[in-house]
Structure 1
Amino acid sequence: MMIDILNRLVDDIEQHLGDEVDVDGLAASMGTTGYHLRRMFSSLPGMPVSEYVRRRRMTVAAADVTGDEGLLTIAVRYGYGSVEAFGRAFRAVHGVSHGDVRRDGGPLRSQPHIRFRLTVEGNNPMDARITERPAFRLIGQAARVPLIYEGVNPHIQQHIAALPSSAHERLKELSSSEPAGLLQVSADVDPDAVEGSELTYLHGVAVDAADPVPAELDVIDVEAGAWVVFRTSGPYPEALQESYAASATEWFPSNPWRLRPGPSIVAVLERAADFSTATCELWFPIERA
């Protein structure tokens, strides 16, 4: 079960705070992939594995800093090659320098040891279906934007607003494959899904792999495989973002599937004129766990 694998990862981090964390190796030994493990970890506690490791290192290191041991010795113990690099990480977590803590004893910010537990409620069934798709292409207008978890992403808004209305109509005419209609595509997402990290956002449509593509449009080639499709309806984008979170906390821990590399796709099926509410489909590429 994914919950057990996540807890095993947390235990390994705790036992090797001064070493590089081999997420891919642990995932392989537990029958899953590093890609899926990183995505599930970042979705549940709301931080990537790398950030959790840094916070735990600096939480434990704070006790050493308050003593008399040399700072370089402490830095090396926690995987840093210099006092300066250790100091930057220390300040980023605690908000003060290691010198301040050595002199005054604080203030300190502690990162507790995470434990994952599955809470079964069963009162909010998810509307999901599995579909097999041949290889296809996503074509449209792409831009690099930062990842934002809550609310409307203003960078995506600006990208779409800059397109003339004729561009939207032309894309609709080119659509020839599922998912149908105008699509919101997120690709090249950091597996750790760090908020603020860059991803490729494409405003476009799906076409068959053999279809000709106008030279001025951006293209994302999508491999054949299985997809899980979640249907959401309600306030936009809140209902959609809640479905993203629920896929990690409810659906994936309860089903024999895991994420595989590839873009996530949002198809807007119906929407209010002011886009305050919408019915959407959220597509994730998956494989058997």
Structure 2
Amino acid sequence: MDWLNRMNGAIAYIEENLEGEIDYRTAAGIACCSVYHFQRMFSYMTDVPLSEYIRRRRLTLAAFELQQSGIKVIDVALKYGYESPEAFARAFQKLHGVAPTLSRSMGVNLKSYPRLSFHITIRGADEMNYRMVEKEAFAVFGVEEIFTTVDGENLKGIPQMWQRLMQDGTVDRLGMASGMDWKPGTPGICPVNAVMCYRDTGGASFPYMICAFDSEKARTEGYVRVEIPALTWAVFTTEEYSVEQTTAQVQSLWKRIYTEWFPMSGYEPETGPEFELYGTAESGLEYCEVWIPVKKKLG
């Protein structure tokens, strides 16, 4: 499949440049997606952040060279992108459990991480609930922060942002500013939700906004306001869950979208904003809708 071929092509580029500089934009370009989407897909498909994969592969190759040649530690450190022998030694110790100089000793235990390749895995025990939606342009407003996918920082930082803004009353104030006549526990989508990737912040970073939808009744003063263009959306819905399960359920849905739905769907992500809409079911439990802009795959 073209999608798998592109991902494997990106891995080939990374592997060919482990001894030099790896340009994330080049790798993402080979995969035909943005840097953000490439890192996100990589992390969801492998359960390892891209930066961690690169670090493991470089230190694997460094250990082989130290064992099999008389290369100096400083030379192997520079070869694999470390600015000093000290920084290399710390990273090597953390991964392998021994100092670089000891890796040459017989009987020393070291770790080896092989090159990745992507293949189709047959799944399907659990269904995925989705629908396709064409929506005209609209606007949202809210509170913005910038996150990065490096080392999975976004997976920790975003839940912390929600917790902080809920505790200080920001989420409640944003809900009132939306102008929606809504009370907690009312079935349906809540007035305060989340949008991300609505503008390019460069490299591995992306903007994330806890937001409300703009309308004639909304009061947007003091908030960041973003125009959302007309797009075609793939909309996915979680199973119902308790409040304590929110983070796990939403992150699990994102992973399934990238590892199960996109490879087989005939669609690929369109560069643009992505939404998480949070709702209350008739049962009183919670659910989440993930909205991703998509386009049909070429060829």
Query: Where does residue 279 of structure 1 map in the other structure?
Result: 287
TM-score where L is the length of structure 2 = 0.75
Q: Runs ≥4 in structure 1, deviation > 6 angstroms?
A: 189-193
For 2:100 and 2:43, locate their aligned partners in 1 and report how far apart those are by CA, in whole Å.
Answer: 28
8 Å Cα contact 1:147/1:199 also seen in 2: no
1:168, distance to aligned residue in structure 2 (A): 5.0
CA contact (8 A) 1:35 1:261 kept: no
Work out the CA distance in 1 between the residues paired with 2:268 and 2:290. Answer: 15
The alignment of Structure 1 onto Structure 2 pairs a total of residues equal to: 278
**Which residue of the partner structure matches residue 254 of structure 2?**
244
Taking the TM superposition and a 5 Å limit, the aligned residue runs for 1:1-289 are 1-29=2-30, 31-66=32-67, 67-102=69-104, 106-143=108-145, 147-148=154-155, 153-163=159-169, 167=173, 169-173=175-179, 181-187=190-196, 200-207=207-214, 214-235=220-241, 236-237=245-246, 238-271=248-281, 277-289=285-297
Return the alpha-carbon distance in structure 1 between the equivalents of residues 240 and 202 of structure 2.
Answer: 28
My pick for the range that moved more, 60-69 or 75-84, is 75-84
Determine the C-alpha separation between the residues in 2 that align with 1:155 and 1:272: 28
Contact residue 269 and residue 278 of structure 1 kept, 8 A: yes
Distance 1:211 1:261 in 2: 30
Tell me the distance in 1 between the aligned counterparts of 2:202 and 2:45: 14
TM-score of the aligned structures, taking structure 1 as reference length: 0.77
Residue of structure 1 in register with 2:150 after alignment: none
8 A contact 2:270–2:293 mirrored in 1: yes
Change (3 A) 1:251 1:216: same
Change beyond 3 A, Cα 1:69–1:246? same
Deviation at 1:245, TM superposition (A): 1.0
CA distance in 1 between partners of 2:97 and 2:225 (Å):
43
> 2:164, 2:53 → 1: CA distance?
32
Instruction: Give the CA deviation at 1:99.
Output: 3.1
**Displacement of 1:44:** 0.7
Deviations 1:204-259 (A, max 9, x none): 31226x99753222323333322221012222323322211100111111123222
The separation in 2 between residues aligned to 1:29 and 1:216, in whole angstroms, is 40
> Letter of the aligned partner of 2:269 in structure 1?
L
Whichever residue aligns with residue 115 of structure 1, its letter is S
Q: 1:59 to 1:10 in 2, by over 3 A?
A: same
Gaps of 5+ in 1: none
1:174 and 1:207 in contact (8 A); partners too: no
Kindly state the Cα deviation for residue 52 of structure 1 after the two structures are TM-superposed: 1.1
For residues 265 and 100 of structure 2, what CA distance do their matches in structure 1 show?
45
Separation in 2, partners of 1:79, 1:91: 16
1:148 aligned partner, one-letter code: L
What is the DSSP-based 3-state SS (H/G/I as helix, E as strand, rest coil) of the residue aligned with 1:123?
A: coil
Letter in 2 for 1:184: N
SS of the counterpart of 1:279?
strand
Point out the structure with the larger helix share. 2
Q: CA deviation at 1:265?
A: 1.8
Displacement after TM superposition at 1:98 (Å): 1.6
Q: Deviations over 1:108-133 (max 9, x none)?
A: 23222222221223332321122233
Q: Which 5+ residue runs of structure 2 have no aligned equivalent?
A: 148-152, 182-187
- C-alpha RMSD of the superposition: 3.6
